Amino acid sequence: MNDHEHEHDHEPRTKLLDPLARVALGPHGSPGFEAGETVDADGNRQLWIVDTGQLDADVVDLGNQNPVHEQAGLLPSSWDDRIAAAPLRCCRPTAAGRPCRQIVTRPGVACAQHRSGARR
């Protein structure tokens, strides 16, 4: 099938979740969800947030295909409070290579452990 034939194909194209490109989001505050890449028959990849409880469901809610936070331009003002409420994090690399999640008082400031030179 070529690209021209896809233009007239109105059926949804099957996407498979790549088992090697899945990351659990539970340790990051979203239990029951994963970030993963889907792959279609042409090899096109797309990043999805997956509700693992729906993986084997007969009918799956695919969510909003065009979320507000994915649009070009400024975020809507309704996001201002959410961003302001988010704690500031150290984000220095830990011994495991992940960003440090310790809360700090100002942007760019290292947590006490990273200021002392100790790696978490």
Average pLDDT, the chain: 81
Read off the tokens for 118. 């100790």
Residue 98 belongs to a domain: yes
Residue 82 belongs to a domain: no
pTM (2 d.p.)? 0.45
Mean pLDDT on 1-16: 54
Separation CA 15–CA 82 (nearest Å): 32
Separation CA 90–CA 49 (nearest Å): 25
112 or 116, higher pLDDT: 112
Counting the structural domains of the chain, the total is: 2
Same domain assignment for residues 99 and 70: no
Read off the tokens for 57. 């469901």
Of the chain, the percentage scoring pLDDT greater than 90 comes to 24
Q: Mapping DSSP to helix (H, G, I), strand (E, B) and coil, where does residue 22 land?
A: strand
Sign of CA dihedral 60, 64, 69, 73: positive
Over 60: is that where the pLDDT of 78 sits? yes
For residue 99, what are the domain limits? 87-120
Give 45's contacts (C-beta < 8 A, 6+ positions apart).
Answer: 18, 21, 37, 38, 39
